[in-house]
Structure 1
């Protein structure tokens, strides 16, 4: 079992773009969604698929289990996703010893840009790039789970500004 330890921020400028290392197109949806756990299916660049189970209530750390699955099965699972299928491009941006993942959303959440940094421990203190906006770690509204499963219910209550 792996631990996911991350902080999340809105992005206020394009200052990160010049440092992009890689990018991937993601489509993801949730097969199960509860307060303290979720089951997600994700297709990466149309070529690889993963099933991810996340468990935990902590704002920074959760248990995470990931499994490669056949693309055909992932596509079928996405057809049965709860809410909407999230479309985004993920950019990997190294910054002072940490790798930030900047997600630029398309589709229903076009205009939303969120950066996450995964840490090795909760005591890590990554330097914060100037292009970051407000921290939204622990704000469930900005979790991919909420963006997918609660979109219809709270369509206009989410601010996409940093």
Structure 2
């Protein structure tokens, strides 16, 4: 497994993967930035940097997250949430076919190993609140504002 660390506006981003795809993207509060990016990670690094610079709204590098069948199903559904949009945990549970599975869906959402790329930050409370986020609610708020220009203040 190859690893790279890059700077982002939200901390140091850790990217792990190999020729089979990217398995983990996470955020750390501190760390050393990688000076030589492994070939297997270069496309993911480029696309993440483009995202943070506001030049990219989707990702198309190969993913290879590890998780249970249920977690994989939830993560696949998360990938369908469009850039700049949000969905409630209840709506996500309904899309997966079981409103009673809301806690299991929320748990799978919290175990998402691919920060930003599998957009768990786009899932909010039914009342619109920013509920739980492994990276901290301030990061979730930043990401949602970054993705929705209508919530950002105009520079003109």
TM-score range, shorter chain: under 0.3
* TM-score of the pair, normalised by structure 1: 0.23
Judging by fraction of residues, say which structure has more strand.
1
* TM-score of the pair, normalised by structure 2: 0.24
Judging by fraction of residues, say which structure has more helix.
2
Q: Determine which structure has greater relative contact order: mean sequence separation of CA pairs < 8 Å that are 6+ residues apart, divided by chain length.
A: 1
